[in-house]
Structure 1
Amino acid sequence: MIKILSLLFITTGLYAKVVIGFLEDSKNNSPIANADICDKYQCIQSKKDGSFKITTDALKLKVVARGYRPFAFKSNAQKKIHFLTPIKIKALYLTFWGCNQHSKTFKNTIKLLKQSSINAVVVDLKNEYGDILYKSDIKKAKEYGAFKNRQVYNIEDFIARFKAEDTYLIARIVLFKDELQASANPDYAIFKDGHIWRNGDGMAWVDPFDKRSWKYAVDIAEDAAKRGFDEINFDYIRFPAKDGIQLQKTNTIQNRLQTLDGFLAYAKKRLRPYGVFISVDIFGNICWSKDDMGIGQNIENFAKHADYIAPMLYPSCFESGTLGHCYPSEYPYEMVYKSIKHTHSKIDPSRIRPWLQGFRDYTKRKKHYGDYEIQQQIQAVMDAGADGWMLWSPTSKYRLSSLEVISSKKERKND
């Protein structure tokens, strides 16, 4: 745990004050550097020795330190020790429809939270179609009809159900793939051959170069942060892998990288004051690629602003021949372990939190991914030193026996 000793010192004005303190890891008493201490208007970082000083008129300050749960403390606390709880994420993905609190999927998820070491859930806050999980005051979302299929009618109660199980709550927001937004805004939808382009599953995309798409996504994320989500996870943070599409700028690697870097800088500036983390999903092959694969994804680039990088290390998604294997899906441990290790030269492994495969292999062999395959992937993450994992099943169907690799070791929720 981190303990924070906060001392109230000099009053600099009628309301503003200087808050001085330090961050310390109580497990080894080492100082915690580069943690963000934020109020509504600013964030400062703790120094190498763990000390910090911030001038603020806020009643509460938020602390965001990678590897720990988000935390808030009163700015007028004097000689009071606060504790931040360390956590390695062990998450299950919950579909948009599975978030309905009356569904069997939702009830099974709560049951697994009670019975296992699972300590986090990724919920579909905005899906690929553009549906949003709950109703808010975002005007554009109402105009697009994004609340029409909402599954949660009381978001406060929904969050409370998870918090009762001490669950770290992650809001997944699909970014540029958005049928509702693109259809309503043809002036910044992606076109091809004179028509709004739709990919293989019939979904339209908005142009990542257009900052109106940035604002809409971050408006949704900001509302989620205010409601009590711990982390915002951006999926489809990329350009389409499609030739011949019409974009507002030339589709060069430089333009792609600069654009997604700009989006994340913008998102972090707006979201950090709420004390939430940011994670981004990337293709698993990006771990091995020397370029952006034509879609704008680059680990070093994303790591400048995102807290965690989430490569989708589904063994089924690797091409035949990867690591010398005709059928990579037959090697769940090796594909996950070696992919994570290969990123070590690009980023601290503690900032890698991969998606793991919890679904049947869809290549020629149609390999069933059951308890053994899931356990092998989880073990690979642990052995490679990554910061936890997230398990993806498109139906959100999970079995307790698949998670025995962690529950058998009697790991605590926060380990």
Structure 2
Amino acid sequence: MFSEDALRPTGLLRFVTHRFILLLALMAGASLGVVRAEDPEPADAQVGGGTPGGTIALTSSVTFTQNLTGHVYVWDQGRLRPAAQAKVSTGEALVRTDSSGRFEFEPEQRTGTLSIVKPGYDIVRRPIYYDQSVIVLRNLVVRAIYIPFGEVTKPEVQAWVHALVDRNLINAVVVDIKNESGQVFSIAATPTVEQIEASRDGSSVGTFLEELEGKGVYRIGRVVTFLDNTYPWWFRDNALHHVSGGLFLDGMGITWSSAYTAGARAYNIEIGVAAAEYLDEIQYDYVRLPYENGLRERFENTEAQRVAAITRFAREASEALHLAGVAVSFDTFGVVSTANNDQGIGQSVEGLAPYLDYISPMVYPSGWHPGSLGFAYPPAHPGPVVQI
């Protein structure tokens, strides 16, 4: 999947490093597990202090009596370095590593599992029953394709993707989980999704994603967020409105839910959390207000209020999804990366960045207004526009 030369340390270096970490374990004098991103799950582990003979089969019913402490490291220019500010979760509690890569959980916060998210590195999700653990993260260099909602359920498409993976042409996929119409695959269907009849059979998608996980593929789930042609019709108080009354319809004739309301924000976050079992990253798209004229809320709110609403969604999504053990990313308008305002849509890259692991600016030329970047018609100059 990953190039042995480009993405992993040499065999000798890995051997030496592994032995060095084991030496740290012996020096610590406690039960310590060493986990790498590509390691298989351990068969058993010591719980609560490493008493001889105290090994048990991994089970979610274990009661812990000791704190869980550990360190997270990354490979950087051939050296093992602490991974500061990595998000570490047990599913019950979420912490960030300090400057030395250290984290700690109280006994009541332990669940027997651990997930670690740090931008630029593969996600780690492993059973952890030792009282101390050292985790070494693997570099992540994504080569992905995007599979639309209507295509991913087709057996021939899934077979084609497997072939690309097996030929080492890709190591990641972006799969629609919720589309522009508001339809949601059943693997991410929440009670509200079921209530509004937005669920669509996704059993084959779940199987497909599990198969890709077995091949080491990094799986990104795209969730179309506030553009939604289903939810607003059921929850009009959580929708955007037209200045003349009624629900707002954009240029495509589609309704939008409102980032200003807690209900609309929670609805999309809960879908991401429900899908987390099958994914490594949730990518939110259409995380903004519509840019078309006639939006009542544009007149009722200032730029600061627009930006605050979208940024609040980023903060809430970050808390929930990092706790669930997945990375969080947003697609943003390319123009907001260079403009000195939010362009009326509520996006501020500077405001969003502290909460997200990745940001994907949509820099394709058709997203720029005539005259932008010195070009009368930017789409006629795709190379220079993207380069700028």
Alpha-carbon deviation of 1:116?
4.5
Confirm or deny: 8 A CA contact 1:63 1:71 kept in the other structure. yes
1:59 paired residue among 87, 92, 112: 112
Alpha-carbon deviation of 1:80?
6.3
What's the counterpart of residue 357 of structure 2? 307
2:171 paired residue among 119, 125, 128: 119
What's the counterpart of residue 412 of structure 1? none
Q: Secondary structure at the match of 1:191?
A: coil
Alpha-carbon deviation of 1:283?
0.7
Bigger Rg over Cα: 2
What's the counterpart of residue 189 of structure 1? 239
1:276 paired residue among 309, 326, 330: 326
Instruction: State the distance in 1 between where 2:280 and 2:296 align.
Output: 36
Confirm or deny: 8 A CA contact 2:69 2:132 kept in the other structure. no
Q: Give me the identity figure in percent.
A: 26
Q: Secondary structure at the match of 1:282?
A: strand
Matches within 5 A, 1:15-414: 15-26=64-75, 27-55=78-106, 56-77=109-130, 82-102=135-155, 104-134=156-186, 138-147=190-199, 150=200, 152-192=202-242, 193-225=244-276, 227-247=277-297, 250-338=300-388
Q: TM-score, normalised by structure 1?
A: 0.73
Alignment-mate amino acid for residue 349 of structure 2: I
Instruction: State the distance in 1 between where 2:383 and 2:191 align.
Output: 46
User: Which of 72-81 and 194-203 deviates more?
Assistant: 72-81
Alpha-carbon deviation of 1:177?
0.9
Alignment-mate amino acid for residue 37 of structure 1: V
Alignment-mate amino acid for residue 73 of structure 1: R
Confirm or deny: 8 A CA contact 1:126 1:174 kept in the other structure. yes
**1:117-163: CA deviations, max 9, x gaps?**
3221111100111011235552211222212xx35334431212322
Q: Secondary structure at the match of 1:187?
A: helix
**1:186-221: CA deviations, max 9, x gaps?**
232222112222111111111211111111111111
Alignment length (residue pairs): 334
Confirm or deny: 8 A CA contact 1:35 1:64 kept in the other structure. yes
Alignment-mate amino acid for residue 19 of structure 1: L
Task: Label 1:23 to 1:145 Cα distance change in 2 as closer, same or farther (>3 A).
Answer: same
Confirm or deny: 8 A CA contact 1:8 1:75 kept in the other structure. no
Confirm or deny: 8 A CA contact 1:222 1:270 kept in the other structure. yes
Alpha-carbon deviation of 1:64?
1.1
Alpha-carbon deviation of 1:23?
2.2
Instruction: State the distance in 1 between where 2:226 and 2:238 align.
Output: 11
Q: Secondary structure at the match of 1:99?
A: coil
Q: TM-score, normalised by structure 2?
A: 0.78
Instruction: State the distance in 1 between where 2:286 and 2:341 align.
Output: 18
Confirm or deny: 8 A CA contact 1:8 1:18 kept in the other structure. no
Which stretches in structure 2 are left out of the alignment for 5+ residues? Answer: 1-7, 10-16, 33-46, 50-62
Alignment-mate amino acid for residue 139 of structure 1: P
Confirm or deny: 8 A CA contact 2:117 2:124 kept in the other structure. yes
Instruction: State the distance in 2 between where 1:167 and 1:286 align.
Output: 31
**1:213-245: CA deviations, max 9, x gaps?**
1111111111101x2200011111111113332
User: Which of 127-136 and 59-68 deviates more?
Assistant: 127-136
Alpha-carbon deviation of 1:54?
2.6
User: Which of 24-33 and 170-179 deviates more?
Assistant: 24-33
